[in-house]
Amino acid sequence: MPPICAILIKKKYSTSEDYKSFIKSIINPKHHIGWYIFVIGVAFTLLFIPTLVGAGSLEHPLYLAILAFPKMIFGGGLEEVGWRGFLLPALKKKFSLITSTVIVSSIWACWHIPLWFISGTSQSSTNFILFFIELVSASLILSAIYNATGSILLCIIYHAIWNSFYEVFVINYNLISFCLVLLFSIVVFLVLGKRTARKLNQNTQYE
């Protein structure tokens, strides 16, 4: 529903030019190879940090994440058309990037609440507060990626590959590990934000 609603709303209320730009950011793969490496590396790190502190383990071969990736495009990745492609930019018109990110995280977390009532899902045995911290962490990185590139596609890939790594990692949720994940995400958010601001300043000077 997030991608469907986002596309329908953009189609109805945006100009033809804005709508074309929106669709292009979903399907345009023309980004520097460094961004793809960055997206995969950060998604891996977000799952590897709990393993480093004994709150998780690498239980299966990494190639399983590659095999799971196409499935995860539809099993999570395409949500980014709604979350980062539509909702984040809409919120940024009224709020700062960090405030908008927290709001998106809250809505994203609430979107998952029904899974707590479905037996057999990973969420049904997960502490919601820790899950929320994890989503804030992922949202900080996704917001930074979108803010730096304007690419919904890179956000889709990040979300999908992050989900795919859950096919190979087994994470035991605890507060310490997810606080470390959150700290890592804040660092990524700040570094990418500083890089983006510097690039915008350079472009302004050239103009």
- Predicted TM-score of the model (pTM): 0.91
Q: What is the pLDDT of residue 206?
A: 47
* pLDDT value of residue 70: 94
Q: Which of 47, 40, 65, 38 is nearest to 134 (CA)?
A: 47
Check: CB of residue 55 under 8 Å from CB of residue 174.
yes
Nearest residue to 72 via CA among 82, 80, 84, 83: 80
193 band by pLDDT with thresholds 50, 70 and 90: confident
The mean pLDDT of 67-78, rounded to a whole number, is: 92
* Other beta carbons within 10 Å of 161: 23
Q: What is the pLDDT of residue 114?
A: 86
User: What are the φ and ψ backbone dihedral angles of 148, each rounded to 5 degrees?
Assistant: -80, -30
Residue for token digits 């690039």? 199
Least confident of 25-29, 71-75, 150-154, 171-175: 171-175
Average pLDDT, the chain: 89
Cα–Cα distance for residue pair 178/44, rounded to 1 Å: 14
Rounded mean pLDDT, 67-86? 93
Nearest to 137 by CA among 175, 169, 111, 81: 175
pLDDT band for position 78 (cuts 50, 70, 90): very high
Instruction: Enumerate the domain spans of the chain.
Output: 2-14+32-206
Q: Name the residue type at position 86.
A: F
Mean pLDDT of 171-175: 84
Determine what percent of the chain is predicted with pLDDT higher than 90.
66
Beta bridge partner(s), residue 56 = 171
Integer angstrom CA distances of residue 62 from 69, 119, 169? 11, 27, 9
| pLDDT given for residue 143 in this prediction | 95
| pLDDT digits 0-9 by tens, 107-149 | 998 888 888 888 777 777 778 888 888 899 999 999 999 999 9
**Inter-CA distances, 190 with 72, 109, 204, Å:** 28, 23, 21
Residues 6+ apart with CB under 8 A from 137: 46, 178, 181, 182, 184, 185
Q: Which band of pLDDT confidence, cut at 50, 70 and 90, is reported for residue 1?
A: confident
Q: Mind listing the pLDDT tens digit for each residue in 90-99? A: 999 999 999 9
